[in-house]
Amino acid sequence: LFLEHELRGALQRGEFHLAYQPIFSLATGRICGCEALLRWRHPRLGLIDTQECISVAEDSGQIESIGEWVLNAAIRDAAGWPDSVRLSVNLSLAQFINPALCDTILTSLSEHGLPATRLELELTESIFLRDTTDTEGHLRALRAAGIRIALDDFGTGYSSLAYLRSLPLDRIKIDRAFVQAITTHPETAAIVRAIIAIAKALDMDTCAEGVEGGAQLTVLRAEGCDTVQGFALAEPMAPAALAAFLTGNI
Ligand code: G
Ligand code: G
Ligand code: MN
Ligand code: NA
């Protein structure tokens, strides 16, 4: 309740900023994208845990305005990156089901001059708990506009193979819980191998999240994972630091 109160007005007070974490192609070693991550710096409490901030924002009906700010700020920043670097933005369920979402995003893209094909939206499995015809329609509208869709945190939530078959997705992001056990648990390695095989068969690409060591990277490369993200490669960084980092890594 305290955080909910503090969160009101945080946007107007300019307490939010974004950090960007690079995503690397395993084939080339180059950066092919960056994920925007919300950061809230409270004037007295300092940096607030993002997961907590997002939950409070969702529960108190503030996620739509905060989410719109994130989209705008990230699209503005990404318009200054090289063409080969895509922008990934996390979306909450409330944003995804808003019928105005697609138009809002397209307006922002054209205002900042970022092609729709450079934007990827990360959705979690929570969207599949809803009426599927509606979900499918929303996904198709976004993709028809050229926007890519990634399924975030795959394997941890309500994973079902049924929706992988029926829904238009471009990428599966393999949850870091799997990635981090890949070198120590043969069962986990087998599951990751199977996820990559399913993604390939369905013409989706794969991103392994939370890569923290070189041994994980070696296994992921051997298994044919397309892209990787994690502290071993690059931590989330401020926009200016990212711009400098991109110069050396694209
Ligand atoms: O970056 P960090 O580990 O603090 O992120 C914690 C969680 O918050 C992650 O699950 C991430 O997907 C989510 N998150 C980060 N930024 C955003 C955002 O702008 N919108 C939404 N909906 N979730 C975000
Ligand atoms: O749920 P989502 O995948 O969007 O979460 C992104 C979050 O994961 C970010 O908050 C980021 O800080 C965190 N993250 C990124 N790389 C790593 C990593 O290598 N290890 C761990 N533990 N967290 C990571
Ligand atoms: Mn994500
Ligand atoms: Na994730």
- C-alpha distances out from residue 248 to 82, 207, 230, 241, Å: 12, 22, 18, 11
Q: Which ligand is nearest to the CA of 37?
A: 1
Distance (Å, rounded) from C-alpha 230 to C-alpha 215?
13
- 199-245, pLDDT tens digit by residue? 999 999 999 999 999 999 999 999 999 999 999 999 999 999 999 99
Is the CB–ligand 2 distance for residue 153 below 6 Å?
yes
The number of angstroms, rounded, from the C-alpha of 237 to the middle of its chain's C-alpha atoms is 15
Q: How many CA atoms lie within 13 A of 229 on its CB side?
A: 22
Question: Model pTM?
Answer: 0.97
Largest CA distance in the chain: 51
Distance (Å, rounded) from C-alpha 19 to C-alpha 81?
14
What is the DSSP secondary structure assignment for residue 49, as one 8-state letter?
P
Q: Is the complex ipTM more than 0.90?
A: yes
Both tokens of residue 133?
């015809």
Spell out the domains of the chain, with CATH numbers in brackets.
2-249 (3.20.20.450)
Distance 4 CA to ligand 3 centre (A): 23
What is residue 130's predicted lDDT score, i.e. its pLDDT? 76
Distance 215 CA to ligand 2 centre (A): 18
Axis crossing angle, helix 101-112 with helix 63-78, rounded to the nearest 10: 30
Q: What is the three-class DSSP state of 209?
A: coil
- C-alpha distances out from residue 192 to 91, 154, 198, Å: 24, 10, 10
- 30-62, pLDDT tens digit by residue? 999 999 999 999 999 999 999 999 999 999 999
Is the CB–ligand 1 distance for residue 95 below 6 Å?
no
Q: What is the three-class DSSP state of 12?
A: coil
For ligand 3, a single-atom ion, which residues have Cβ within 5 Å?
Answer: 90, 122, 152
Residue with CA nearest ligand 2 atom 22 = 210
